[in-house]
């Protein structure tokens, strides 16, 4: 009985040499509302809200959009209000 090598479960190629896999450093996402010092996210400002609602109609999560927690709550409320008065769609037209 010889030794058998098992394939790794990830299927990815690990590069980086003897130190292990090399990680890419990503730039930290920064809240655009904090940078612009916006205290209130207006539900009538569709230009701003449309950046956070893709074609499918879902609200983009903060880990993807980079919005901080307090502004994500305000953003959610503004999108919900805009949907209720038919400024934004609830779902995409398929």
Say what the pLDDT of residue 22 is: 72
**d(C-alpha 44, C-alpha 30), whole Å:** 24
Tell me whether residue 49 is in a domain: yes
Range of the domain at 49: 42-87
Tell me whether residue 27 is in a domain: no
Tell me whether residue 16 is in a domain: no
> What average pLDDT values come out for the chain (94 residues) when binned by 10 residues?
61 61 78 92 94 92 94 96 93 76
The three-state DSSP-derived secondary structure of the chain is CCCCCCCCCCCCCCCCHHHCCCCCCCCCCCCHHHHCCCCCCCCCCHHHHHHHCCCCCCCCCHHHHCCCHHHHHHHHHHHHHHHHCCCCCCCCCC
Tell me whether residue 67 is in a domain: yes
Tell me whether residue 31 is in a domain: no
Say what the pLDDT of residue 72 is: 96
CATH number at residue 81: 4.10.640.10
Say what the pLDDT of residue 50 is: 92
Say what the pLDDT of residue 61 is: 95
Tell me whether residue 78 is in a domain: yes
Tell me whether residue 21 is in a domain: no
């Amino acid at each position: 009985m010889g030794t058998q090598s098992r394939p790794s479960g990830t299927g990815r190629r690990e590069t980086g040499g003897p130190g292990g896999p090399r990680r890419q450093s990503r730039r930290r996402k920064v809240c655009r509302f904090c940078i612009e010092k916006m205290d209130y996210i207006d539900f009538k400002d569709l230009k701003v809200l449309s950046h956070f609602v893709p074609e499918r109609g879902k609200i983009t999560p903060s880990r993807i959009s980079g919005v901080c927690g307090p502004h994500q709550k305000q953003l959610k409320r503004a999108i919900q209000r805009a949907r209720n008065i038919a400024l934004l769609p609830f779902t995409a037209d398929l």
